[in-house]
Chains A and B, each alone.
Chain A
């Protein structure tokens, strides 16, 4: 089947629900409304309201309830209508879900999934990238697919995982990317990066919607004789340290690209890993291209100035190639 990113998510949810009766969905407007982005459209018809649970607008209680259900043998998948609202259940996630296993040995097999990211003019509260609040918190996994195939395969793994997994879906990609996906296809393991484009001269390490910016920019730069490799992290926690080090050792030049804001973004962490594990292999300073350290502005031209751009990436990669 040729599925868009959002269709791939729905497909993975449906297959996991058919496979395992412990899996159920809860979230705001996910039943007859089908979710704000229609990720769960039609699922209530197949699985009924006990497995596709429309909740009140109460993120903290929704996540708390999912944790309790997970303690007692269920595998809840919570939809955050926009990941920006996850701030409303920060305590439930970072204290309860993240620290249950370490405190008590109690696993929390739960997924919190929903849309992140900008580029669709959602303004300050409907565009954010909250991954680093959670990547910073031991006890959580954080995943962000860039392709429909990975959205499908990684979501399956996330649902089967015995840990709380934050599954960040880039809303810009929902209907813009597609892949051929086989029914009941394989789950894609968490924690492994993937080479989205092989190259020899330098590496762009990135994830989410920025993978597409990187691949397109790399294709454009090929005409200038710059052969860029693009590494798609896919999972931010745990990070694929080996994959990161391998690409650096291969090309000896690294740029880290992310849509998240700059300070405290994953670029800083990756830079530190490379200093620790690949310092002698680097032929150039590690560069980073990120969103600005500001809230996400609504105004389309300001949002464009906020986000990393193709032009900015080209310039940075040319600079890196010159070393």
Chain B
């Protein structure tokens, strides 16, 4: 991987060299997972829809690493593969779900948008935009009654802000005072509609403030910024049991989904601008400057990750298809 000089980012956020390397590894794993996943789609192993998280890695890495999964919970939207990896779901089981196999995290019944892992406190990706926002209120409500100050983090896109559920949920979260963090991943587009064309206010944080919820904007390309924000906000929430709203500014590299190829709603210039502040390259540049890793070591790491993920794909390919009897299982609890 070639590392170009980058505009500076915000410093190491108190992370040790080991922790920094771990975060680089996580971001590379997401990027390469999505690359492989899209290849599997083109090869016909994955059917239906596929929404890539590539470009947005620093958001998930910052906000999920700072969580304590022994007590905290996560509610997600449909662009969920990256978050699953960060929460420690086995990539083999994620691929198996994408392939619709019996060993997938949702037994093949959910697919790409509907990953789920109660063990990892992951309350699901969800194909209905905005659906998770009110659910996260209820999770916060339940968690607030537990003794060890747990919190809930809810991810969604800029598009979800336009749903009625967003407003109902902000009001409820504030009224009930629940420890739920709403992370709006503002990648500038709701599918093919630019944020200026779908949001009445260009500063998305302004749309939450009216409910008396604390808000802030964070540079979603900068893993130090997301890490520092997460740690500070989580501490505040554990103490106050109040909701919080973050707008993380970032960009999705791929189309909305794998079928969105024309990308006629955005310019190559804009894409290039965002690629020039790639979250992985920014962290890599820092690690090189600080002599924590060399460019060669980073490239070796990337290749090692690709090899590991490829092995997972191969194993997931061998996973059994569900039998027909599975169809009627699980309709009721």
Contact = CB atoms under 8 A, between A and B. Distances in A.
Partners in one complex: yes
Interface of A: 28-29, 31-34, 36, 54-58, 60-61, 84-85, 87-88, 120-126, 292-295, 297-302, 305-306
Contact of B48 (A28, A87, A88, A121): A121
B326 interface: yes
A197 B229 CA distance: 65
Contact of B328 (A85, A87, A88, A294): A294
B264 interface: yes
User: SS class of chain A's interface: helix, strand, loop or mixed?
Assistant: loop
Contact of A125 (B101, B127, B327): B127
Interface in B255-280: 264-265
B328 A302 contact: no
A294 B114 contact: no
B197 A298 contact: no
A56 B190 contact: yes
Interface string B183-203: 000000011110001110000
Interface of B: 47-49, 100-101, 104, 106-114, 126-130, 159-160, 162-164, 190-193, 197-199, 264-265, 321-322, 324, 326-328, 331
B100 A88 contact: no
Contact of A36 (B130, B191, B199): B191
Contacts of B47: 120-121, 300
Contacts, number: 126
Contacts of B49: 122-123, 126
A302 B326 contact: yes
Nearest to A60: B164
Given A299-B107, A305-B324, 11 more contacts: A56-B193, A56-B198, A121-B48, A122-B48, A123-B48, A126-B48, A298-B100, A299-B108, A302-B108, A302-B326, A306-B327
Nearest to A38: B262
Given A28-B191, A57-B190, A298 B162 contact: no
B315 to A, nearest CB: 18
A33 B190 CA distance: 11
A57 B129 contact: yes
Given A28-B191, A28-B193, A302 B100 contact: yes
A299 B101 contact: yes
Contact of A32 (B199, B265, B324): B265
Contact of A88 (B128, B192, B193): B128
6 contacts: A29-B193, A32-B192, A56-B199, A123-B110, A298-B100, A298-B106
A120 B326 CA distance: 19
Query: Which interface residue of B48, B101, B106, B326 has the most chain A CB atoms within 10 A?
Result: B48
Closest 3 CB pairs of A and B: A33-B192, A298-B111, A299-B100
B190 A28 contact: yes
A59 B48 CA distance: 23
A123 B128 contact: no
Contacts of B163: 57-58, 88
A60 B164 CA distance: 8
Contacts of A55: 198
Contact of B322 (A32, A60, A302): A302
A241 to B, nearest CB: 33
B164 A58 contact: yes
A144 B226 CA distance: 48
Nearest to B110: A298
A29 B100 CA distance: 29
A33 B198 CA distance: 14
